[in-house]
Amino acid sequence: MPWPLWSNSIGRPRISRPAPPGAEDAYADALDLATRLDAWDAQRRIDIALEALSACADRARPLSTLSVGGRHRVRLAVTLGSGADLLLLDEPTNHLDAEALRFLTRRLRERVGGMAVVSHDRAFLRDVATTFVDLDPSRDGRPRVYAGGYDGWVAGRRRERERWEQEHAAQQAEHAELVRAADAARDRLQTHWRPDKGTGKHQRATRAGGAVQAFNRRVEELEAHRITVPVPPRHLNLPASGTRPGAPIVNVTDARVADRLRTPVSVALTGGDRLLIVGPNGAGKSTLLAVLAGQTHPDEGRVDLRRDARGAFLSQEVPSWDPYRTAHEIYDEQRRRLETDQPDVPSLRGLGLLDAAAARTPVARLSQGQQRRLHLALCLAARADLLLLDEPTNHLSASLVDELTEALQNVDCAVVVATHDRKMLHDLEDWPRIELAGQQVS
């Protein structure tokens, strides 16, 4: 419609400026976009998401004052409430409790638009994903695409790994056979140069010449052979701690931490014990782990830790390492420190957590997943009597989580795990558990 020249709704007449060229089209486009995004309802959708995710709803509060999990939940709520045609979600289930996970899953399954998700949450992927792009190492260094949902991905990845290992083993066996054949030809050559007494010169020369030709042929075959299939990634290797079964490690009695662990907790752990800590965000799971690790002192109650007990704590945040030091340097420093009391600390590569290239990389340039693997390696190298794992599935690949879950069933130390990961909870369902009550989350 034509722009008005006069506006006399209030007071005296006011001359309106002429609309700039193209303004009507720009306004129409903006109105069309706002309508398609249902922008008029965005605030209500965001409010619903904030409440469902137990996120801070105080819009005046600076994000910097929230915890890592608090900031994540606010950003996720805004993203879900945006009404965008395509959602890009990076580890959306991190820092979400069971109720928040159910809301997120339901909202994504109800979506009409598309989405691309980066996640290591296997139960979540089973619920929402149809096609998988797998960036884990492969035989040729290329990503793999699997259809058929979660089950199709798992089956396809297993077949790919088996094929990779078989092809590498076959090439190694072929190379070993060529080495054996060359060695045998060399032995025959030496024998033919020293024939039995009475052998004529012509016969000796003929036999020696044939041996030389056979040896040269074997050497050429060996030199031409190449192992083109790269070495498959190593499997996780957890070193034994040597913890004596049933040996007392820590005893916590009626421990409380103001505003962080409000419900008094009592627990005693001995060698070989297993324990799950569950509960909603803000219930104090991480705080209880820190109490068990001796990093947080309770305001009430007491903690008795055996004097010579060794502990290792995989917290949600990695330590503040020197960003310019490599993963290998950081690990070797701890290894030397540990070897004063414990011989035969495994090498970083021996644990199967980081490849050679990552081990040589400064930690500031490692991905979150690689930094998490380094932190886990440091914990495992300690060969602790008490291994404490806070959300151990965060930033770890599904294949590594599967290996870690299986390994935790068999280690001789005491293990305490706090997790929201539904697949891990299912896999460890026979473990004793402490369920902490929820409290107000900030």
How does pLDDT run across 422-435, given as a tens digit for each residue? 899 999 999 999 99
Average pLDDT of the segment spanning 408-434: 93
Share of the chain above pLDDT 90, in %: 49
Contact 218, 185 (CB under 8 A): yes
Asked if pLDDT for residue 280 goes beyond 90, the answer is: no
Region 34-44: mean pLDDT is: 69
pLDDT in tens, 64-84: 898 888 999 999 999 999 888
Read off the tokens for 39.
């922008």
Q: What confidence category does residue 1 fall into, taking pLDDT thresholds of 50, 70 and 90?
A: very low
Are 363 and 325 within 8 A, CB to CB? yes
**What is the third-level CATH fold of 37-129?**
Rossmann fold (3.40.50)
**Which residues, in sequence order, are CB contacts of 191 under 8 Å at separation 6+?**
211
**Given a cut of 60, is residue 198 above it in pLDDT?**
no
- Report whether pLDDT(251) > 80: yes
Instruction: State the Cα–Cα distance between residues 395 and 296, nearest whole angstrom.
Output: 25
User: What is the rounded CA–CA span in Å between residue 389 and residue 276?
Assistant: 10
Tokens of 394: 């965060």
So what's the pLDDT on residue 211? 66
The hierarchical CATH code for the domain 247-435 is 3.40.50.300
Judge whether residue 441 has pLDDT over 50.
no
> Has residue 2 got a pLDDT over 50?
no
pLDDT above 70: residue 6? no
Band (pLDDT 50/70/90 cuts) for residue 3 is: very low
What are the residue ranges of CATH 3.40.50.300 in the chain?
37-129, 247-435
Alpha helices in 193-271 (DSSP H): 201-224
Mean pLDDT of the chain: 85
Looking at residue 14, what is its pLDDT?
A: 57
**Residue 300: is its pLDDT beyond 90?**
yes
Task: Report the candidate in 133, 131, 142, 180 with the shortest Cα–Cα distance to residue 164.
Answer: 142
Q: Which helix (H) or strand (E) holds 24?
A: helix 23-36
Query: Which pLDDT score is estimated for 94?
Result: 82
Res. 179 pLDDT band, cuts 50 70 90: confident
- pLDDT category at 232 given cuts 50, 70, 90 is confident
Report field, pTM of the whole predicted structure over 0.85: no
Task: Please report, for residues 39, 94, 189, 210, the alpha-carbon distance to residue 197 in angstroms, rounded to integers and kept in the order given.
Answer: 102, 82, 17, 19
